[in-house]
């Protein structure tokens, strides 16, 4: 009897607090990116990169007790067979809630996400995702004591209860769905905006430990991230999120600041630092992240500015990322075949054609003057650009006017235009940026009288640097368009 009372007392306290939070509490996390698929399954298909996130959160309750939430998330993009089309992505996620020093209460979830990505424009993409999750809520009977009860986020006085619990574990599935509209230029690291809508627990599963069922209410998330300000090396991203469940709503408002930095040594390459702050309910949350090309380290800390709820919490996250690049579609050449025209018969409507012979003056072939060394140097010019830009400077335009004059004087010469970048951005962004630079040069030359068919455009991205990318001086030399005359 005493054993039954002790079990009932602890379970009553635990279940009272967690009954309406039986779904994985991803919205508790300050760092949302590592648990993004739990909140919106469309996130696994919204970006052209693979990633593996490890995140740990410890939320202090009081009197030495805490709620611990370890999580893991993996995502990978899906391509067409020739890797010219981004179809979406697939994701696998794991999360566990552990309450108390002995983990008396556990809620373990695993989820599989699948998202379809559809381009709305060259820079805008819509991603729609679905997620199937399976949860196991469990009370560890062997770890139960009657010393404490957990109620409304704080530890109360010792209590006993004779409530009847029909089971010590609950298994249930959960279905989630969401969509994300994201606009981002290929050569930039942060999006212009990202808007998301998602719904969790669409099937409203029964999560009760009691004989009487309790259907988990569905949850609705609406979020918006925008780029409020940016320059060549920094960006400020304000964000807002609204959560609604069973008549209750919650707002989260804040901003994240990114700042790029150059390479410090071969092991610490170019990357970015970010610092962020959000306000949610009575909590002030802040985070600090170090971002490199292939990994990221993040830390956050929460402080309760009110009197109710947990006092503090911290998170530590590590992520491995792998950006991908779409391949160019091969242009098929369509050969036109001349139609066979009927040959008129000599037997039909015969005509007499009279040829008259007149003297024709034959002019000797006039050879064009060969290129001088000075003209060759002009045609072999390098055109330099600012970081992340394809705009021609005034000095570049003066160079190209001279190039156009030489090409007009020598119409037999073709010109190859190679666009290049430094390695400051992701490979896919560099590919597009180098092509934009090459097209900017071709467009200018065309406007100054050079026929388009005489110019060949190619994008080299950052594959052929002429200087080190570890210094700004070297990166400046790599941000260029190379002109190659085909003599």
Lowest mean pLDDT of 17-26, 104-113, 117-126, 442-451, name the range. Answer: 17-26
Percent of the chain residues past pLDDT 90, beyond the cut: 51
> Which residues lie closer than 8 Å to 177 by C-beta, 6 or more apart?
41, 128, 129, 130, 131, 198, 199, 202
Tokens 């503090």 -> residue? 312
49-53, 425-429, 449-453: range with lowest mean pLDDT: 425-429
Identify the pLDDT of residue 369: 75
Q: Tell me if the domain spanning 373-486 has CATH number 3.30.1330.60.
A: yes
pLDDT at 311 over 60: yes
Q: Which helix (H) or strand (E) holds 182?
A: strand 169-183
Q: Which residue has the higher pLDDT, 238 or 357?
A: 238
Q: What is the pLDDT of residue 290?
A: 94
* pLDDT (0 to 100) of residue 157: 38
| Mean pLDDT within 218-233 | 92
| Span 2-323 CATH architecture | Beta Barrel (2.40)
Band (147; pLDDT cuts 50, 70, 90): very low
Mean per-residue pLDDT for 94-107? 86
Of 94-103, 125-134, 338-347, 464-473, least confident by mean pLDDT is 338-347
Q: Is the dihedral of CA 143, 144, 145, 149 positive or negative?
A: positive
pLDDT grade for 363, boundaries at 50, 70 and 90: low
Token representation of residue 429: 């962004």
Please tell me the pTM assigned to this model.
Answer: 0.64
Q: Is the pLDDT of residue 5 over 70?
A: no
Q: Quick check: 152 pLDDT over 60?
A: no
> Residue 379 contacts by C-beta under 8 Å, 6 or more apart in sequence?
371, 403, 406, 407, 413, 415, 483, 485
**What pLDDT is stored for residue 280 in this prediction?**
93
At 136, the pLDDT band (50, 70, 90 cuts) reads very high
Residue among 291, 299, 286, 300 at smallest CA distance from 320: 291
Average pLDDT, integer, range 463-468: 90
Number of helical (H) and strand (E) elements in the chain, helices listed first: 6, 21
Residue 124 pairs in a beta bridge with: 183
> How does the average pLDDT of the chain come out, rounded?
82
Domain boundaries, the chain: 2-323, 373-486
Q: Is the pLDDT of residue 10 over 80?
A: no
Q: What is the pLDDT of residue 423?
A: 79
- Residue whose entry in the numeric block shows the structure tokens 């009760």: 208
From start to end of 305-400, where are the E strands? 312-323, 382-384
Tens digits of per-residue pLDDT, 373-391? 889 899 998 999 998 889 9
Task: Please give the Cα distance from 117 to 36 (Å, whole number).
Answer: 16
Window from 100-114, 152-166, 188-202, 266-280 with minimum mean pLDDT: 152-166
- State the Cα–Cα distance between residues 425 and 434, nearest whole angstrom: 12
> How far apart are alpha carbons 475 and 260 in whole angstroms?
14
| CA–CA separation, 85 and 328 (whole Å) | 9
What pLDDT is stored for residue 163 in this prediction? 42
Rg (CA), the chain: 33
For 68-96, the pLDDT digits (tens) are 999 999 999 999 988 889 999 999 999 99
Q: How far apart are CA 9 and CA 101, in angstroms?
A: 18
CB 209 within 8 A of CB 168: yes
């Amino acid at each position: 009897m005493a054993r039954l009372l002790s079990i009932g007392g602890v379970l009553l306290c635990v279940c009272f607090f967690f009954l309406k939070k039986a779904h994985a509490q991803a919205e508790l996390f300050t760092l949302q990116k590592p648990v993004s698929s739990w909140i919106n399954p469309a996130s696994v298909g919204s970006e052209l990169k693979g990633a593996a996130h490890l995140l740990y959160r410890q939320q202090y309750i009081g009197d030495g007790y805490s709620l611990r939430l370890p999580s893991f998330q993996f995502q990978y993009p899906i391509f067409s067979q020739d890797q010219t089309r981004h179809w979406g992505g697939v994701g696998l996620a794991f999360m566990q809630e552990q309450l108390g020093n002995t983990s008396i209460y556990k809620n373990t979830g695993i989820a599989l996400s699948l998202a379809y990505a559809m381009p709305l424009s060259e820079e805008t993409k819509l991603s729609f995702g679905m997620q199937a999750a399976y949860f196991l809520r469990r009370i560890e009977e062997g770890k139960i004591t009657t010393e404490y009860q957990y109620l409304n986020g704080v530890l109360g006085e010792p209590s006993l209860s004779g409530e009847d619990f029909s089971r010590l574990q609950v298994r249930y599935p959960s279905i989630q769905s969401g969509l994300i509209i994201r606009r981002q230029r290929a050569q930039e690291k942060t999006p212009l905006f990202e808007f998301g809508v998602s719904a969790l627990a669409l099937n409203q599963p029964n999560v009760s430990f009691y004989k009487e069922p309790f259907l988990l209410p569905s949850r609705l998330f609406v979020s918006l991230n925008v780029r409020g300000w940016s320059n060549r090396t920094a960006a400020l991203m304000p964000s807002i999120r609204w959560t609604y469940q069973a008549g209750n709503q919650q707002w989260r408002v804040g901003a994240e600041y990114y700042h790029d930095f150059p390479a410090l040594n071969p092991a610490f390459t170019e990357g970015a630092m970010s610092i962020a702050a959000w306000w949610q309910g009575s909590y002030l949350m802040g985070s600090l992240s170090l971002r490199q090309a292939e990994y990221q380290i993040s830390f956050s800390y929460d402080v309760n500015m009110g009197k109710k709820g947990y006092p503090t919490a911290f998170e530590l996250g590590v992520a491995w990322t792998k950006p991908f690049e779409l391949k160019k579609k091969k242009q098929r050449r369509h050969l036109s075949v001349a139609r066979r025209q009927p040959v008129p018969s000599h037997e039909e409507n015969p005509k007499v054609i009279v040829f008259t012979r007149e003297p024709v003056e034959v002019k000797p072939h006039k050879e064009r003057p060969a290129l001088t060394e000075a003209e060759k140097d002009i045609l072999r010019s390098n055109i330099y650009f600012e970081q992340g830009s394809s705009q021609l400077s005034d000095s570049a335009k003066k160079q190209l006017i001279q190039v156009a004059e030489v090409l007009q004087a020598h119409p037999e010469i073709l010109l190859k235009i190679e666009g290049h970048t430094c390695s400051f951005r992701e490979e896919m962004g560099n590919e597009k940026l180098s092509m934009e630079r090459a097209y900017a040069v071709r467009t200018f030359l065309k406007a100054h009288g050079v026929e388009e068919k005489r110019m060949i455009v190619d994008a080299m991205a950052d594959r052929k640097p002429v200087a080190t990318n570890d210094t700004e001086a070297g990166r400046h030399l790599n941000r260029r368009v190379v002109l190659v005359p085909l003599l």
